[in-house]
Amino acid sequence: MDLSVPEEMDVEVQKMTEKRLIDDTHSYTCRSKKGGECDSFPNTPSKTQPPKKLAKGDASEDLTLSQVQHSIIQIIKQSSEEIKDMVKENSTSINLLKEALEVVHSEIFDIRKENENLKNKNEEIVKRVSDLEDKLNDQDRYCRRWNLRLEGLTERTEDDVKSRVTEICKAVVVEEERNFVANNVDIAHRVGRPIDRAKGKKPRPVMIRFASRTARDLTWKGAKGNDFLKKNNMYFKEDLTIKDRATRNLLWPVIDKARKEGKRAFYVGVKAIVDGKEIKH
């Protein structure tokens, strides 16, 4: 025979037990009252207080989920329109900038092309000018091949430079060549402004032009190491062009150093020769 209590009956027993405990508790607290009636606890509210209503327009007012979603959708739509307008405006600005950049790029390309053409023309002009300067220097050098310069000839108040130069030229060549050289001294004159002899300044050089290249070369050859010129502190120089003189000035330190070292060094035109070797600047 099954003596187990059904589950429904067990639940009812528990409810009845709880109710009896509650009634006993209330009857205990009410024994001190007259007539056995029980009053409610003074601190226990008889009814549940309703929730306080919020003022209209308060940020904390309860919103339904649909209202929140609707508000969010409206904000998104408004922002989307603003973003759309900004994108459109920016697109217009970008297109304008693109067009401006294309124009600038085209102008830069044209300028570069023109600059390249000008650069090529300038190089051609520079080369042409250089060639012309070389040709002019060659012509000037050729004309000066008939000339010599005499350094150290003292200046006088009444000075017949050509006569004095003629005698000097005769003194540096051999006897059989003297008349030939003297007859070919064409022009002789001082170079530069007059000097104040009282101040002891160096006399101006004398430019000598010969009518014959042969007479000039004989004088130039005889002047090298000539005792008469050394005794009178005079010497002859080639009549160089400005460009050739500048070239020699650049090569002079090499010549001077070689001579101090006991080497044989000299010029041949604008070339420096040291111990038989040409030295370039």
Condensed to tens digits (0 to 9), the pLDDT of residues 157-192 reads: 777 899 999 999 999 999 999 999 999 999 999 998
How far is residue 33's CA from residue 165's CA, in Å, rounded to a whole number?
A: 167
Question: Can you list the positions of beta strands (E) in 119-180?
Answer: 147-151
Long-range CB contacts for residues 134-137, cutoff 8 Å, separation at least 24: 137/241, 137/243, 137/244
Distant-in-sequence, close-in-space partners of 99: CB < 8 Å, separation ≥ 6: none
Confidence of residue 27 (pLDDT cuts 50, 70, 90): low
Q: Give the tens place of pLDDT for each residue, 205-255.
A: 999 999 999 999 999 999 998 999 999 999 999 999 999 889 888 888 888
Provide the 10 A C-beta neighbour count for residue 229.
20
Please give the pLDDT value at position 3: 44
How far is residue 71's CA from residue 146's CA, in Å, rounded to a whole number?
A: 110
How far is residue 172's CA from residue 223's CA, in Å, rounded to a whole number?
A: 6
Q: Which two tokens stand for residue 53?
A: 């209503």
CB neighbour burial string for 137-159, b if at least 16 within 10 angstroms, e if fewer:
eeeebeebebbbbbeebeeeeee
Please give the pLDDT value at position 84: 80
Backbone dihedral region of 197: left (phi > 0), alpha (psi from -120 to 50 degrees) or beta? alpha
How far is residue 229's CA from residue 242's CA, in Å, rounded to a whole number?
A: 26
Let me know if 218 is exposed, middle or buried by CB neighbors in 10 A (0-12, 13-18, 19+). buried
Q: Give the tens place of pLDDT for each residue, 29-69.
A: 454 444 445 554 445 445 555 555 545 445 445 678 887 87
Q: Give the tens place of pLDDT for each residue, 81-120.
A: 788 888 888 888 888 888 899 899 899 999 999 999 999 9
How far is residue 213's CA from residue 144's CA, in Å, rounded to a whole number?
A: 10
0.75 surpassed by pTM: no
Q: Which two tokens stand for residue 110?
A: 């044209």
Q: What distances in angstroms separate CA 144 from CA 131, 150, 184, 266, one per listed residue?
A: 20, 14, 15, 20
Q: What distances in angstroms separate CA 199 from CA 150, 154, 191, 233, one per listed residue?
A: 21, 13, 19, 19
- Is 168 within 8 Å of 230 (Cβ atoms)? no
